[in-house]
Copies of this chain bind each other. A is one copy, B any other.
């Protein structure tokens, strides 16, 4: 029996409010052995107060030793087992640029490439063509016309663009056409199962017309299709948790991930202050709010310990605005660790704070990695966070008699 079978059966509704505040890449490492992490260095009086009143723990995003990308990292926090629900690369790319995938859509990461006179690939990334140059070329490809299929082409960055195919009977199990080598022609799209044969044919037709449109481009005279994938089919927050959920995010990727689990993406905020305004304005309309803060991750990726510390303080500073609205359950955590020392996502457990009236508080006195080791939530897989949130919100019935 999977976790969602339980939450589906046991959830109940009330007028409680749950807030999940995600500091992307929140966990970190000290700069020197025995030192303090970014979160421990940051002055976070508001999180520390909630840490005293609430319960802490360390969340394992996927499994010990596994460093997740944003997709599996957030699915885990949303309570979707990231090993069960995979988001294909094409679908994640489309989601990342804010493209709203519909049921049945096929999403594809496409690359411009350079072909030589014999049709062999001479550069798999079209010389990493500049975005200003490649975007108009991608837009030209919107001229591709395939009967019965709606074709969307969206520029991304440099040599990358996204193709979405919408139509009846399309499945996503088609191999990449990128041969991962130069001096050879692109591969033909090959279906790996019966259900994906139509998709392979549509891809072949797309490429035929695309190559015709691109033939006079000096660098981007060809393209390859990769990560061909259906829109992932995820049960919604409403269905599995009985929650009317909203996402307040700045970056398209996180809006997209939230949409995949049926959250409404609300507001159009660019800053944390604006996100707080959107939260306040919509407080009465939703049961659950996912608030995403990107900069604890991006500063970590930059390897900038001080900047990550500062961004963590910025995150802390928004807490009073959340708490004055009176949430029943408030959670602050990350989707993974991004230690500045590693300049990348990592496998280290993520500090997690859960504050609620009926949480069983623990001896923790502040919010940080070392303190979390003493916490009442222990070490737990991120996918269990949502059942804990529902329970603390009084939204879960007893299991069995």
Contact = CB atoms under 8 A, between A and B. Distances in A.
A72 interface: yes
A62 B399 contact: yes
A66 B29 contact: no
A353 to B, nearest CB: 15
B370 A65 contact: no
Contact of A10 (B66, B339, B401): B66
A230 B91 CA distance: 44
B378 A58 contact: yes
A331 to B, nearest CB: 12
B360 A348 contact: yes
Contacts of A72: 399-400
Contacts of A82: 399-400
Most buried by B among A33, A37, A388, A399: A399
Given A92-B401, A400-B72, A391 B347 contact: yes
Contacts of A384: 63-65
Contact of A64 (B89, B362, B387): B387
A222 interface: no
Interface residues of A, number: 70
Kindly report how many copies of this chain are found in the complex they form together. Answer: 2
A30 interface: yes
A93 B400 CA distance: 11
Contacts of A33: 53, 361
A311 to B, nearest CB: 20
A368 to B, nearest CB: 11
A3 to B, nearest CB: 7
Nearest to A344: B398
Contact of A63 (B3, B73, B345, B397): B3
Contacts of A358: 29, 339, 341-342, 346
A396 B66 contact: yes
Interface in A48-63: 52-53, 58, 62-63
Contacts of A388: 64-65, 347
Contacts of A69: 398-401
A236 interface: no
A399 to B, nearest CB: 5
A1 interface: yes
25 contacts: A6-B63, A6-B66, A34-B53, A34-B361, A65-B389, A66-B396, A67-B391, A67-B397, A70-B400, A70-B401, A71-B400, A72-B399, A73-B400, A82-B400, A89-B401, A92-B400, A93-B401, A347-B388, A347-B391, A347-B396, A348-B360, A360-B369, A369-B376, A374-B374, A378-B378
Give 5 closest A-B pairs by Cβ, nearest first: A65-B387, A378-B379, A69-B400, A64-B384, A65-B391
